Structure 1
Amino acid sequence: MNARTGLLARRADVLQGTNLRALAGPILICMILGMMILPLPPFLLDLLFTFNIALSVMVLLVSMYTMKPLDFAAFPSVLLFSTLLRLSLNVASTRVVLLEGHTGPDAAGKVIESFGHFLVGGNFAVGIVVFIILMVINFMVITKGAGRIAEVAARFTLDAMPGKQMSIDADLNAGIINEEQARKRRSEVSQEAEFYGSMDGASKFVRGDAIAGLLIMVINIIGGLIVGVVQHGMDFAAAGKNYTLLTIGDGLVAQIPSLVISTAAGVIVSRVATNEDIGTQLTGQLFTNPRVLMITGVILVLMGLIPGMPHFAFLVLGGGAIQLGRVMKKRGEEKKTSAALVDVAPAALAPAENTEASWDDVALIDTLGLEVGYRLIPLVDKNSDGELLKRIKSIRKKFAQEIGFLPPVIHIRDNLELRPNAYRIALKGVEVGTGEAYPGQWLAINPGQVTAALPGTPTQDPAFGLPAVWIDTNLREQAQVYGYTVVDSSTVVATHLNHLVVTHASELLGRQEVQALLERMQKDTPSLVDDLVPKALPVTTLQKVLQNLLDEAVPIRDMRTILEALAEHAPKISDPHDLTAIVRLALGRAITQQWFPGNGDMQVMGLDANLERVLSQALTTGANPGLEPGLAHTLLEQTQKAMTRQQSLGLAPVLLVQHSLRAMLARFLRRSLPQLKVLSYAEVPDTRHVKVVNVIGTA
């Protein structure tokens, strides 16, 4: 109970602190407005001027200790509020000076009196000169320089944004970073651009503040003279001295914090982002070279020896620089000696200029890669809304839904060695497909029934090898009227990529993907997975069975049926090919439905009875059954003819054979006729009616 009470109390404290921080902005605005409208007593003015000085020093120190500009992203807002605070203090102090200035130099508080007397010795002429010098330094040097740096930085940051975004996308596609890291880096790039843009605008507040300070000083002096002489009957000299010293004190107590804030702005926008604060950078880079210090010391000593020069100052500083350089040189030699002693053994084993090889030198091959020429970069550039990136995501999602496992990430990169419009698809570092695409044009594919030709660049559809032509956008509708299938350049690349991914699905199914499938099934059927893998079936055998199914374009979405069939027969059968045949029987209904949707007749190709008998005899004879060359050539030739007749009728190229022949014929015909699918009678459900349309083996 006590612990719970303590937790609730801590939570209440956190919420209270959050609420107070949220109220800081409105409270500050109310304070600024109050100072402009309400008369303030001198004591409160002293506190507020002191707070203004402390705030400016704090801002300067924070800017010096930040590692990069975005660590102080609130600086533009701080600049705005500090400027408003100083101006409101000027209004409040001006009211007090004009109302109570005739009473003496402490009329506006001790802070203004101290700045008017102590800093300038009570001499208003000196005060005016010092004030004007501070104005010139602030307005002409620091503020102008910081504003120019912010303007240039904002411009270059905006120009570099597309390249940075593309670099992030390339690292994401290459797998170097994940989605969360990419999102964080994109946010940093966007914040950096907004920061420098805000600094460019915020620097104008500082310039305006400097001009306003000068005008306020002139107005206060003239107004003080009028009020003192006309309203209070003071003589001109006394009124001039009183009101001028008060005005100078007021101006100095406002301009010094303004100068500090301007310096902080210059530090923020002029520093280079590193892992060191500005103090460490300055000392680490100015005093690292002992030769520079020693030469500087010698020059100062020589100048100190010239008659009429301040010998003490030059000789002391020169001697100090020479001594510091000698000390640093000695330390550097000691470090080199110790490093040499430590590195004796490695130096004896290998040359100093050669670095020892490590595992970091091993470059791993991407499973799937897409390389594009420079004219295709806009298709994969997220900043320019690259359509191909969206299509690739859709390809992976569609593949996972239809095939049954998630393929590896497709790594995209540009390749200047390719032709400008070319692309290259690689599987495990080996090229499996290539083509060309022309952004801004359309590919008109001839499916075989077009009515007229089109002007353009003749080519072939890279995915299926159909005749095609690249046409201009204005010919798109005309091409569709002629019967062409018209697609854009991103669709061409995406279709080719999808075709190759599906074709090589078995090679994409690795040990990691199989393990992920088992973990996915573990959630739904834990006992089935635990009883099968690895007790009855090794993971490698399961992977081989799944790869065999994918080689024959059989999806593995129904993992429960696959695992149940393997669990029943794996204790007695260990050969992956035999297990694949058993799994196909279990998936028979799904395989049949894949090629012959609905419940209509299955119009297939079949084997002549004599040919089927010869093939059965060849399968059962000998220790290594196979087909003799003459029979193999005849079978391949007859199958190709039958397949052509089948496709001319608009029917699926499916060959139906006896179950004992299916595996052998599938392996033999798949290499030459990849579009042909071989099914066995045992895989066809009893409810389906089979009609043999083309027979292989007859003249």
Structure 2
Amino acid sequence: MNNLNDSFILSSLMNGNSLRSLAGPVLIIMILSMMVLPLPPFILDLLFTFNIALAIIVLLVSLYTKNPLEFAVFPTVLLITTLLRLSLNVASTRVVLLEGHTGPDAAGKVIEAFGHFLVGGNYAVGLVVFIILVVINFVVITKGAGRIAEVSARFTLDAMPGKQMAIDADLNAGLIGEDEARNRRATISQEADFYGSMDGASKFVRGDAIAGVIVMLITIIGGLIVGVMQHDLELSIAAKNYTLLTIGDGLVAQIPALVISTAAGLVVSRVTTDEDLSEQVLGQLFNQPQVLILTASILGVMGLVPGMPNFVFLLLAALLGTSAYFVSTRISITNTADPVTPEMPTTEAQDASWEDVTPIDVLGLEVGYRLIPMVDKMQQGDLLKRINGIRRKFAQEIGFLPPAVHIRDNLELRPNAYRFTLKGSVIGEGESYNGMYLAINPGRVTMAIPGTITSDPAFGLPAVWIEASLREQAQNNGYTVVDASTVVTTHVNHLIHSHAAELLGRQELQQLFDHLSRQSPKLLEELVPKLLSLSVVQKILHNLLAENVHIRDMRTIIDILTEHAVRTQDATELTAIVRVALGRAIVEQCFPVVDAELQVMSLHHELENVLMQTIHSGASAGGGIEPGLADTLSREVSIAAQRQEQLGLPVVLLVPGSIRVLLSRFLRRMLPQLRVFSYSEIPVSRKIKITSIVGGGGK
């Protein structure tokens, strides 16, 4: 029985979904069929009333939306309502011409009411009112809304690259996740589609207004011809009947059209906030008591002038004055709340002790006094939250949790300056202006923007500090615009990744092993301390991190070390063995596309032989290259690396395994972006393409 009930419910839901999917096509077919099939007056009354109700619904929805994308279907709704009005015009025109000689209710009660009640049965007045409504709709509302939609569409498209780069920057800094980044990109694309659709949809309303005037003229002329020549009516009676019916028909269509056009203007002209339109208007227009008091005073003076409508002016002045009193009272209550000041504890002089010796923070961030609001939660500062996000993303990407960043103010720094320290030493510093934005030039800026010229502290790109009011303009000109807090967090994120090897201390390594032991209790039993000491393992991991190799795959690393630690205890040799085991992951860091060729640089075979002889002659792996050879090698590698970067390729040098460590340590300081791979680290499934050969001219 339960299975039968479940099947019935499931089939009902599927039928409901099918009906909803059929609603759109059925509605469009019905609207188009009204242009062809004759409709009785009662059906016309029902459809005209539905048209008015639909226009009111659209207007109210546009008033209560907080973001234009909440009503993203509006351009389609605009097309459907315009098509509905035109179909009703055609259907009502047919009835007016066929039955207009029978009286003013020939086309239904709704048209009769609009033709008699709204304009008093005077077709001259009705004609004037109809023309005024068309002019308001066509010249004022539709034209303005269309212009706003056109400009918004162009600015939204121009700002898309900058917004996309800002999303990528937040993603790389660990401030957002992949899902949120994907949602933000989808939102940007939907904004561009929405304003582009609104730009085109506004033409529907404009065409509807023109069509309404033409249909009205044709109907009046056709009605006079039909009434006089076919039904033998007097010219005055025919003019009155057909003109009133036509005016009623036009008004019953143009009033909903005016409502829909107003809704379109409200949707495209509003600024996106967390408030709906009513809250925005009341909060911004009637929230300043000084304005209300001045307005009330002016109206009060005008109300005392003889000959003016004194009662009306004085009544409105009294209402505005009362509103000003209540607004000022509410603001004063909010501002006069006494903040609770904590009592500072009194400290007595004490003798010096070991408590006065404070350990140095592994990671520290010192800020000037003007940047304190960025780290103060009471002042809506989000820097602490962002730095926690950086540590979380670092742990996910690199494989261990870095030490906490201790933030403190330093009055010795410039007011807008900050500096980042590692074990007490400064590894990075810069300036950030709270409340302003940094416009970074990614290389395709169309127009310069006024501001304080500087450079991006993380990557050295040219940039400009700008006021908040210039943010949209900078994005439209091709800049990547980030706020002051993002500037600091991006710099901190870059510095933490650059010094990952130094962050893996004994304590962090022990915490990593404790975490692994909880997940795989048997994994570390044989390795530490039976085969290798903790310091040797730390040195191996340090070697990997120094060359930008993540250690997320600790299972493989520990398995390889357990297998080979019986034969050797040398950290450098074990690092090379681990790199071969991690070869696939190492290559994917530079060449993420699995099927793509590995376009890399290589050494000339003569140069390889010379370097191998240097290793075999007893030179240490860290240096010992003859000075002349070192100069030639560094110069030619620099040229090849520059050529590789111009091609948009990763700067990777492929060498034999015996000289990989020698070259990596020698070239690392000169070319930080250079990665040195050995042939044995390349998976057999990857294809290799040599783009340039270093040292082709000899030694």
TM-score normalized with structure 2 length: 0.61
Q: Which residue of 2 aligns with 1:26?
A: 25
- In 2, distance between residues paired with 1:25 and 1:429? 50
8 Å contact kept, 1:124–1:241:
yes
Does residue 178 in structure 1 map to residue 177 in structure 2? yes
What displacement does 1:21 show?
2.3
Which residue identity does 1:88 align to in structure 2? S
What displacement does 1:298 show?
1.7
What displacement does 1:567 show?
6.2
- In 1, distance between residues paired with 2:285 and 2:240? 47
Q: 5 Å matches for 1:218-367?
A: 218-337=217-336, 339-340=337-338, 343-345=339-341, 358=376, 360-361=382-383, 364=387
- In 2, distance between residues paired with 1:637 and 1:534? 27
Does residue 136 in structure 1 map to residue 135 in structure 2? yes
8 Å contact kept, 2:614–2:624:
no
What displacement does 1:536 show?
7.6
Q: Which residue of 2 aligns with 1:377?
A: 442
Which residue identity does 1:205 align to in structure 2? F
- The percent of aligned pairs where both chains have the same amino acid is 52
- In 1, distance between residues paired with 2:31 and 2:617? 96
Q: Which residue of 2 aligns with 1:386?
A: none
Which residue identity does 2:320 align to in structure 1? A
8 Å contact kept, 1:63–1:264:
yes
User: Which of 453, 457, 461 in structure 2 is aligned with 1:414?
Assistant: 461
The C-alpha deviation readout for 1:191-213, integer Å capped at 9, x for no partner, is: 11121111111111111111111
- In 1, distance between residues paired with 2:657 and 2:575? 22
Which residue identity does 2:461 align to in structure 1? D
- In 2, distance between residues paired with 1:353 and 1:551? 32
Q: Which residue of 2 aligns with 1:207?
A: 206
Q: Which residue of 2 aligns with 1:563?
A: 558
What displacement does 1:330 show?
2.0
8 Å contact kept, 2:48–2:252:
yes
- In 2, distance between residues paired with 1:200 and 1:589? 59
Q: 5 Å matches for 1:77-96?
A: 77-96=76-95
Which residue identity does 1:202 align to in structure 2? A
Q: Which residue of 1 aligns with 2:432?
A: none
- What secondary structure does 1:377 align onto? coil
8 Å contact kept, 1:370–1:413:
no
TM-score normalized with structure 1 length: 0.61
- What secondary structure does 2:523 align onto? helix
8 Å contact kept, 2:540–2:572:
no
- What secondary structure does 2:250 align onto? helix
User: Number of residues paired by the alignment?
Assistant: 512
- What secondary structure does 1:46 align onto? helix
Does residue 546 in structure 1 map to residue 531 in structure 2? no
Q: Which has the larger radius of gyration?
A: 1
Q: Which has the higher contact order (CA 8 A, sep 6+)?
A: 2
Greater alpha carbon shift after TM alignment, 279-288 vs 250-259: 279-288
- What secondary structure does 1:233 align onto? coil
> Could you say if the C-alpha distance between residues 515 and 31 of structure 1 is closer, same or farther in structure 2, counting changes exceeding 3 Å?
farther
- What secondary structure does 2:287 align onto? coil
Unpaired segments ≥5 residues, structure 1: 381-410, 418-425, 433-499, 595-601, 609-633, 656-665, 676-699
Q: Which residue of 2 aligns with 1:198?
A: 197
User: Which of 523, 526, 529 in structure 2 is aligned with 1:529?
Assistant: 523
> Could you say if the C-alpha distance between residues 324 and 352 of structure 1 is closer, same or farther in structure 2, counting changes exceeding 3 Å?
farther
Q: Which residue of 1 aligns with 2:689?
A: none
Q: Which residue of 2 aligns with 1:451?
A: none
Root-mean-square deviation (Å): 5.4
- What secondary structure does 1:263 align onto? helix
8 Å contact kept, 1:561–1:587:
no
- What secondary structure does 1:37 align onto? coil
8 Å contact kept, 1:174–1:412:
no
8 Å contact kept, 2:623–2:666:
no
Greater alpha carbon shift after TM alignment, 66-75 vs 583-592: 583-592
- What secondary structure does 2:169 align onto? helix
> Could you say if the C-alpha distance between residues 532 and 93 of structure 1 is closer, same or farther in structure 2, counting changes exceeding 3 Å?
farther
What displacement does 1:254 show?
0.4
The C-alpha deviation readout for 1:126-169, integer Å capped at 9, x for no partner, is: 11111111111111111111111112222222222222222222
- In 2, distance between residues paired with 1:355 and 1:553? 37
- In 1, distance between residues paired with 2:243 and 2:304? 46
Which residue identity does 2:540 align to in structure 1? L
8 Å contact kept, 1:566–1:579:
no
- In 2, distance between residues paired with 1:266 and 1:670? 64
> Could you say if the C-alpha distance between residues 539 and 10 of structure 1 is closer, same or farther in structure 2, counting changes exceeding 3 Å?
farther
Q: 5 Å matches for 1:279-678?
A: 279-337=278-336, 339-340=337-338, 343-345=339-341, 358=376, 360-361=382-383, 364=387, 377-378=442-443, 414-416=461-463, 506-507=501-502, 526=520, 528-529=522-523, 531=525, 543-547=537-541, 550=544, 563=558, 580-581=569-570
- What secondary structure does 2:329 align onto? helix
Unpaired segments ≥5 residues, structure 2: 346-368, 399-426, 430-437, 446-457, 465-489, 584-611, 634-654, 671-699
- In 1, distance between residues paired with 2:625 and 2:58? 82
Which residue identity does 2:250 align to in structure 1? G
Greater alpha carbon shift after TM alignment, 143-152 vs 582-591: 582-591
- What secondary structure does 2:105 align onto? coil
